[in-house]
Amino acid sequence: MKDLAQQLEHSPLRSAERRNNPYRDDKVIDACSIFGMMDQNRRLFTGNDIIEASANMNERVNGLGSGYAIYGLYPKNRKNYALHIMYDDKEALKWGSKYIGSNFEVIYDEEIPMDNLDKSKQLPIMWRYFTNIDVDHLNRMEKEDYMVKKCLEINTSGRGAYVFSSGKNMGVFKGVGWPREIAKIFRLEDYKGYLWLSHSRFPTNSPAWWGGAHPFAYLDSTVVHNGEISSYGANRRFLEMLGYRCTFQTDTEIFALALDYLLRKQHMPIEIVAKIFAPQRWNDIEKMPTNEKNLLRRLRITYGNLLMNGPFSIIFANHGLMVGLADRIKLRPLTAARKKDLFFLSSEEAAIRKICPEIDEVTHPQGGRPVVARCNEGIAS
Amino acid sequence: MLKSHRLPEFNVYIDTDTCTVCKACVIQCTFDVFSYEKVGNMIEIEESKCVDCHRCMIFCPEKSISIIPNPVQYRANASWNKEIIHNIMKQAESGGILLTAMGCDKPNFNYFDKLLLNASQVTNPSIDPIREPMELRTYLGSKSDMFTIAENDKDPIIETSESPHLLLETPIMFSAMSLGSVNINVQESLAIAAVSNGIYQNIGEGGLHPKLKQYANHIIVQVASGRYGVHKEYLDAGAAVEIKIGQGAKPGIGGHLPGEKITEEISETRRIPAGTDAISPAPQHDIYSIEDLSQLVHAIKETTEYSKPVIVKIAAVHNSAAIASGIVRSGADIIAIDGMRGSTGAAPLVMRDNVGIPIEMAIASVDTRLNKEGVRNKISIIAGGGIRSSSDVFKIIALGADACYISTAALIAMGCTVCQKCHTGKCPWGLTTMNPAISIRINPKMASKRVSNLIRGWTLEIKDMLGGMGINSIESLRGNRHQLRGIGLSDHEMEILGVRPAGS
């Protein structure tokens, strides 16, 4: 592993895809724990509970990657795109800052404060930029397209710069370590949000590097994922046909990009997207009332290549929205729970009970049935 | 006639110790290899006529007949081998084009056998098809780019209009075999098998026989360069219409059904006089360019009132990718690509064995090109020509096809032994002959059972392979080249196929 790391340091190809998948395997494979917590009244809370819950699932992971996404993070700059970018070194930082400066209007930028817990190791440089897109005549959709395009460009630039998140009033913090370690390194006790996602991983074929940890985010959308998608090749090809580039070569990124396409570009409701990712069986579709049958049939015909086949459970978040979904035959665990205004999604029920022993309602959703929670709304499944 | 300089290709022996002189061989052989000699009560053998079809051996009650390739060889010469020498001799005797049938029989155009499949281990579970549902249902047709979904009384409704599709319960269909290339019993057998398996039969360019009308929901009708039997009712009858531009066995040339095969029955469906040669032109004479194709596609759609998908079939040739891209823009719903190992009822040998490219290469390059141009999802792709097994079906879908066409395999299921003599009209198994005395050897009830069994067997095998990969729906295999690895292929070949070497 050390040799490989050294080799990478001297490699001119420091783009995310080379970095995340140095053995050039088909894709990166890992097992994981996932956790999500949302206050449906948008009250801000610290990460103490979610860190505790994630640490309770250490059995599922091996300390080679953890991460958090926080919504409601930057209320003062809520109108700016907050870019969280990791840099390999100062040279990369110089390049990245110049690139950001020439493509965006930068309102404010700073180094993300970090504590180095192990002085024998060097931490990567983390920087955040609050930006506007000051390109004339772009409507909202075009501005968002512009942002996605720029993120993909940075990740594939080979300059050693990697965008972790690019949404408004939200941010992703992730790196190599156990859930508690990463929380400490990023001083997460200083942050508050109304929606938190966490993820810890057990990678099998990816070196421990900071960019490989979850969550994966584009604009305001964030995904954490547990599982392996056997249809990866088919899904990836379809997304590439649409002009996307899979810069990290992981299943999770496939979810992030597919969600970007279906939710943001095609304006589909999340319930419909769930039916594309994990559709009902043809036999079941045939038995449905005409309208529903036609809808599901056509979704499968048109978006068959976005069916996510293989074991997965995901938590997807956007402002005011948290969704859990497991594959059609539920080969990965997913639990949903509610305590008053707090809504939880987790790989394990034990993790929820660890921080909230008395829950009002708990469900283990069937494969392919999304659990959707919106702010100021109850659990709808 | 000039004396032939060729020795017989096969030696035919009858074991006189066991032969009862029942004359079954005399009746069964349509090439007149056997005749009964009253004097001496024995069977005479004229082995130069033997085509090695095995009909006599199978039907000899005493199993007294054996056929072996003639062991006599010419002096060893890698360049001037037996086949080359014999072809020259045949042409020196006849002065004509060498005719043959079935698909290219040369060994060096096969990539299926050099592709290996993946399976799940540890990090994702394989799925057991005996215990879990496996979905092979496939829809063929064009798909919309954008979807507008409206909420209507809480029920989401798709506002985007829908184009017609073919529904296949397993991604296999019967490739075009016209009435004339095969007889009505074969067509009916395939139709019955298509209906019972929820798939489709393409009836080629010979028109629609009245007997087939009851199966029309599972029939694809063809519009080829000869336009035999094409009229509004014909176009309306089928589930889809296929415009045939070319055929893998003979790209660039038309069809030729010899007058000997134009019986009264064929004459009626083709709408041509009995006994005349049916010669389909090389090109469609109203299609000299892509915009002409577009006009024909739309003419057919207008005629059938946009009720069924239009397929455009081309032979796999060097610039298939560019042509396919044009076909997408012509308004067609489905592209069928026929590889160079595809079969034919009759073709010049020189065309069959030298023109075109293998289907694996064609599908890989077409799928890649359409993907790059962002139009792959607008159209469905059918691959044909050289698909021999469930694993070939599986691999071609992983390379990018939606479904495949088979014909040789279906004929073999009914008795064909690939003796490559379809063009003679003498098929001893009763498949490609129009002689009613021989074609009764195919009983549609029995023959369709064999074909159905084959489709069922392949379907089960496809489910096994899918489950092994941890996939439970065929659409997750389509274009999923990550599940393939190449072995014994050059870097360039793997680049075109879009696969990586085994072990990487």
Contact (CB<8Å) B480/A268: no
> Nearest-CA neighbor of B399 among B491, B484, B334?
B484
Per CB-CB distance under 8 Å, the chain B contacts of A225 are none
Best mutation site among B147, B163, B466, B485 for testing chain A: the one with the most A CBs within 10 Å?
Answer: B147
**What does the alpha-carbon distance between residue B440 and residue A13 come to, in Å, rounded to a whole number?**
69
Domain boundary among B18, B51, B72: B72
Best mutation site among B132, B161, B469, B475 for testing chain A: the one with the most A CBs within 10 Å?
Answer: B475
**Residues of chain B under the 70 pLDDT cut:** 151-154
Per CB-CB distance under 8 Å, the chain B contacts of A236 are 482
Per CB-CB distance under 8 Å, the chain A contacts of B132 are 329
Query: How close does chain A come to B488, measured CA to CA in Å?
Result: 20
Render A105-171 in DSSP notation, one character per residue.
Answer: EEEEEEEPP---S-TTSPPPEEEEEEEE---TT--HHHHHHHHHHHHHHHHTSSSSEEEEE--BSEE
Q: What is the pLDDT of residues B168-220, one digit of tens each?
A: 999 999 999 999 999 999 999 999 999 999 999 999 988 899 999 999 999 99
> Nearest-CA neighbor of B296 among B244, B256, B240?
B244
Contact (CB<8Å) B376/A241: yes
The answer on B444 and B323 residing in a single domain is yes
Task: For chain A, 381 residues long, give each residue's pLDDT as a single digit of tens.
Answer: 445 445 444 444 466 666 666 666 666 666 688 999 999 999 999 999 999 998 888 888 777 888 999 999 999 999 999 999 999 899 999 999 999 999 999 999 999 999 988 888 888 899 999 999 987 778 888 899 999 899 988 988 888 899 999 999 999 999 988 889 999 999 999 999 999 999 988 776 666 678 778 898 889 999 998 888 889 999 999 999 998 887 777 888 899 899 989 998 888 889 999 999 999 999 999 999 988 898 999 999 999 999 999 899 999 999 999 999 999 989 899 999 999 999 999 999 999 999 999 999 999 999 999 999 999 854 444
Q: Is residue B26 part of a domain?
A: yes
Q: Is residue B461 part of a domain?
A: yes
Query: How close does chain A come to B108, measured CA to CA in Å?
Result: 29
H or E stretch covering B269: helix B264-270
**What does the alpha-carbon distance between residue B69 and residue B88 come to, in Å, rounded to a whole number?**
20
Q: Is residue B453 part of a domain?
A: yes
Q: Contact at 8 Å (CB) between B174 and B199?
A: yes
The answer on B196 and B54 residing in a single domain is no
Query: How close does chain B come to A192, measured CA to CA in Å?
Result: 35
Contact (CB<8Å) A310/B149: no
Q: Where are the alpha helices (DSSP H) in chain A?
A: 2-9, 16-20, 48-55, 90-103, 140-155, 179-185, 232-241, 251-259, 270-277, 282-286, 290-303, 349-355
Rounded to a whole number of angstroms, the distance between the first and last alpha carbons of chain A is 44
- Identify the CATH number of the domain in which residue B56 sits: 3.30.70.20
Within a 10 A sphere around the Cβ of B38, how many other Cβ atoms?
6
Q: Give me the residue from B133, B156, B470 closest to A230, CB to CB.
A: B470
Q: Contact at 8 Å (CB) between A190 and A48?
A: no
Q: What is the pLDDT of residues A165-178, one digit of tens each?
A: 999 999 999 998 88
Domain boundary among B18, B40, B72: B72
Contact (CB<8Å) A331/B124: yes
Q: Which residue has the tokens 């970018």?
A: A85
**What does the alpha-carbon distance between residue A282 and residue A109 come to, in Å, rounded to a whole number?**
52
A375 part of the active site: no
| Distance from chain centroid for Cα B118 | 27
Quick one: closest CA in B to A302, which residue?
B143
Query: How close does chain B come to A94, measured CA to CA in Å?
Result: 34
Contact (CB<8Å) B472/A233: no
Q: What domains can be seen in chain A, in order of their start residue?
A: 2-380 (3.60.20.10)
**What does the alpha-carbon distance between residue A230 and residue B482 come to, in Å, rounded to a whole number?**
9
pLDDT at A38: 96
The answer on B44 and B143 residing in a single domain is no
Per CB-CB distance under 8 Å, the chain B contacts of A281 are 133, 135
- Identify the CATH number of the domain in which residue B181 sits: 3.20.20.70
| Helices and strands per DSSP (H, E), number in chain B | 15, 23
Pairing of strands B334-338, B310-315: parallel
Collapse the DSSP code of A234 into the 3-class scheme (helix H, G, I; strand E, B; otherwise coil) and give the result: helix
Angle at the Cα of B435 from the Cα atoms of B413 and B35, rounded to 5 degrees: 90
Q: Is residue B116 part of a domain?
A: no
Quick one: closest CA in A to B373, which residue?
A241
Per CB-CB distance under 8 Å, the chain A contacts of B145 are none
Contact (CB<8Å) B479/A234: yes
Q: Is residue B399 part of a domain?
A: yes
Q: Is residue B44 part of a domain?
A: yes
Burial of B61 (0-12, 13-18, 19+ CB in 10 A): exposed
Per CB-CB distance under 8 Å, the chain A contacts of B333 are none
Q: Where are the alpha helices (DSSP H) in B205-263?
A: 232-237
- Cβ-Cβ pairs closer than 8 A, A with B, add up to 119
The answer on B272 and B187 residing in a single domain is yes
Q: Give me the residue from B127, B374, B482 closest to A241, CB to CB.
A: B374
> Nearest-CA neighbor of B101 among B137, B53, B148?
B53
pLDDT at A141: 85
pLDDT at A20: 63
| Distance from chain centroid for Cα A282 | 30
Report which residue type is found at B252: G
Collapse the DSSP code of B194 into the 3-class scheme (helix H, G, I; strand E, B; otherwise coil) and give the result: helix
Q: Is residue B77 part of a domain?
A: no
Per CB-CB distance under 8 Å, the chain A contacts of B482 are 26-27, 232-233, 236
Per CB-CB distance under 8 Å, the chain B contacts of A329 are 127, 132, 472
Q: Give me the residue from B149, B472, B504 closest to A309, CB to CB.
A: B472
**What does the alpha-carbon distance between residue B252 and residue B429 come to, in Å, rounded to a whole number?**
30
The answer on B158 and B28 residing in a single domain is no
B59: containing domain? 10-72
Report which residue type is found at B336: A
Render B77-142 in DSSP notation, one character per residue.
Answer: -SSS-HHHHHHHHHHHHH-SPPEE-SS---GGG--GGGEEE----SSS----TTTS--B--EEES-
H or E stretch covering B467: helix B444-468
The answer on B67 and B142 residing in a single domain is no
Per CB-CB distance under 8 Å, the chain B contacts of A267 are 149
Q: Which residues of B304-320 are buried (b: 16+ CB within 10 A; e: fewer)?
A: beeebbbbbbbbbbeeb
**What does the alpha-carbon distance between residue B417 and residue A131 come to, in Å, rounded to a whole number?**
72
Q: Where are the alpha helices (DSSP H) in A260-375?
A: 270-277, 282-286, 290-303, 349-355
**What does the alpha-carbon distance between residue A373 and residue A270 come to, in Å, rounded to a whole number?**
11
Contact (CB<8Å) B133/A305: no
Domain boundary among B49, B72, B95: B72
pLDDT at A377: 54
Render B127-160 in DSSP notation, one character per residue.
Answer: --TTTS--B--EEES---SS--EEEETTEEEE-S
Q: Give me the residue from A24, A26, A281 closest to B135, CB to CB.
A: A281
Burial of B20 (0-12, 13-18, 19+ CB in 10 A): exposed
Q: Does B126 touch chain A (CB under 8 A)?
A: no
Q: Does B71 touch chain A (CB under 8 A)?
A: no
Q: Does B12 touch chain A (CB under 8 A)?
A: no
The answer on B165 and B61 residing in a single domain is no
pLDDT at A4: 47
Q: Give me the residue from B133, B157, B469 closest to A281, CB to CB.
A: B133
Q: Is residue B66 part of a domain?
A: yes
> Nearest-CA neighbor of A256 among A228, A205, A294, A215?
A215
Q: What is the pLDDT of residues A4-40, one digit of tens each?
A: 445 444 444 466 666 666 666 666 666 688 999 999 9
Q: Give me the residue from B156, B162, B469 closest to A272, CB to CB.
A: B156
Q: Which long-range contacts (C-beta less than 8 Å, at least 24 apart) are formed by A255-258?
A: A255/A216, A255/A223, A255/A225, A255/A308, A255/A314, A255/A316, A256/A216, A256/A217, A256/A218, A256/A221, A256/A222, A256/A223, A257/A218, A258/A306, A258/A308
The answer on B448 and B361 residing in a single domain is yes
The answer on B282 and B421 residing in a single domain is yes
The answer on B321 and B192 residing in a single domain is yes
**What does the alpha-carbon distance between residue A209 and residue A86 come to, in Å, rounded to a whole number?**
11
Q: Does B463 touch chain A (CB under 8 A)?
A: no
The answer on B64 and B174 residing in a single domain is no
Q: Contact at 8 Å (CB) between A90 and A127?
A: no
> Nearest-CA neighbor of A21 among A246, A298, A197, A184?
A246
Contact (CB<8Å) A307/B475: yes
Contact (CB<8Å) A307/B139: no
Number of domain units in chain B: 2
**What does the alpha-carbon distance between residue B172 and residue B125 come to, in Å, rounded to a whole number?**
27
Quick one: closest CA in A to B169, which residue?
A282
The answer on B154 and B29 residing in a single domain is no
Contact (CB<8Å) B475/A238: no
Residue B317 DSSP class: -
Q: Contact at 8 Å (CB) between A126 and A86?
A: yes
Q: Where are the alpha helices (DSSP H) in B304-374?
A: 320-330, 349-354, 359-372
